[in-house]
Structure 1
Amino acid sequence: MKYSDAGVNKEEGYETVSKIKDVVAATHSPNVLNGIGSFGAFYELGKYNNPVLVSGTDGVGTKLRIALDVKKYDTVGIDCFAMCANDILCHGAKPLFFLDYLACGKLDSDVAAEIVGGIAKACKETGTSLIGGETAEMPGMYQIGDYDVAGFCVGIVEKDEIIDGSKIKEGDAIIAIPASGFHSNGFSLIRKVFTDFHETWNGKPMYETLLEPTKLYGKTILGLMEEVELHGIAHITGGGLIENVPRILPKGLGANIKKSEIRVPEIMQELQKRANISQDEMFGTFNMGVGMVVVVPQDKVDTTLAKLKDLGEEAYEIGSIVKSDKEIELV
């Protein structure tokens, strides 16, 4: 017998490497000391005074199911990168390098190259090096045609510049930075409501709206940090504002957020209407159009909004920090 008799095609794996090596190499900075083929990837930190590495890992979730069903693979790699990189940005860390993990039942080098190409595109856009990864063909574990994607991002921040919410104080303002859509959360529910991915929505197939990739906030957050001292940053992922904002709050403080100020995207309003989903469930599951929030001193609100506008963001104030035993209230 041969390995291929068990369902593993080594030649397809070699072909995948051949198809991705150029786009991967294009993401490398001078800090990357080796290329594809080594057992480990080498990354030189460069000159820092007291550097702290910040890491994060995540996947795409069942949003991937839509991409697989409609055979559109070019955006989910962006989602994978964004979910990891946006998390470490919450601590003021600049993403340095990224590694990916791709698993499937039967490898198709064209599909794998599209997925990794999306990751490389996101890396290139944010100045992050894609320095390694793993492609695992596992017949019997995954159905033929199915893929799973996960990633690992490592960034860096000077120790005295770490943002961890400890500076948040009463009276600080909460600023919303818009999302690009559902991002990569809540898709198990989304798929139960929008069952026809090819239905027409606002003049295009529904799947195009649902597969809008998770927004990359690197340039926005790092650019804002150059001008404003940020007391806290929260990436609004699974659990929405309700679960993610409290993660950055010191004990004894709460977030008072005005629901009426939040600009909820039309597609989320449509989801709520079709399935008669309660407001509490919506705000506890989806980002509701808010991809990131930053907490800044009240006297820096105008400066923050102006800088964000310069960075291409239509940000807006949605609430404030108050003394409270309740971590968050949506009023």
Structure 2
Amino acid sequence: MARPKPALILSDDERQKLTTWANRPKSTQRLALRARIVLACADETSNKAVASQLGVCAATVGTWRNRFVAQRLDGLVDEPRPGAPRTVTDADIERVVTATLETKPKAATHWSTRGMAQATGMSQSTISRIWRTFELKPHRADTFKLSTDPYFVEKVRDVVGLYLAPPDRAIVLSVDEKSQVQALDRTQPVLPMTPAQVERGTHDYVRHGTTSLVAALDVATGKVIGTCHRRHRHQEFLKFLDHVDATLPREPGVSVHIVLDNYATHKTPAVKRWFVRHPEYHLHFIPTSSSWLNQVERFFAEITEKRIRRGVFKSVHALEQAITEYLAEHNADPKPFAWVADADSILDRIKRVCERTSDSGH
């Protein structure tokens, strides 16, 4: 006769915990399998039937059935394996993290792994592991600038509200200039990419002149109206406005809302007269030093990365032709940028930055 199996009865809390372990994506595969075995054993007395159902051997089912009956949930977790004791304590880790965040080395702007290892008496690899665990990167730095516009809050709410909830029968355009785009030609031919070798170009270059790309991004559709101009004055901006007005569909009752920055060419008397003659156009100025609020900047980043930065242009005409071709390709299958941040979340984040820097001494 077969040996009698110990009774396996689950409480509601145990069943819920086992179900969580069995289904949670972050559970280890060993723990998830053990949880499924115990859940199946609670409904089936035969180890062979459970083994056939889960694709394991009957001995495995018997092991974890007995372990659970004896130790309950704790019996499913692996016991600590033998090994050398820790040499780096929690206090050591706290000391490294605190020193990284709150101090600087002598005669230097930031810590290195070797410098921190020498200062703390630990190994360089230990410092590296601690920094990776807490995502500390002293060798990297970024930039930021807070706007001092006295109407910052009002302008943020106006522009973000326009992105998230545009008026009925309205076209929202994000307008700006990408000025001083250089036509750069490498001094030697570019070496093409090969297996195990990236594309290579010379570090030096020859300048052949500059152009300015003026663009209007349709926030709803992702289409871009753009023209290139050799100069960057209000006369060129007026020509661009005429081009936009001629390109947009003519439908009665449709208003055009333009988001743009505070550049001087956008506020000259001639430009103001143009908008007076076109009352269907409405201007929304972003705060000063807040180009991130203008969606067309995202398009400028894309065209720079995909077409301009690594391009080789032997003349300004060649550069402008490349920009025109990119615009046509982009508009053949446009995709709008998804703006998801509302005004409150933006202002809360800026508030936190202000609170962090208010006592910095600068």
TM-score (norm 1): 0.22
Structure with the bigger percentage of strand: 1
Greater gyration radius: 2
Structure with the bigger percentage of helix: 2
Which structure's relative contact order is higher, taking Cα pairs within 8 Å and 6+ residues apart? 1
TM-score (norm 2): 0.21
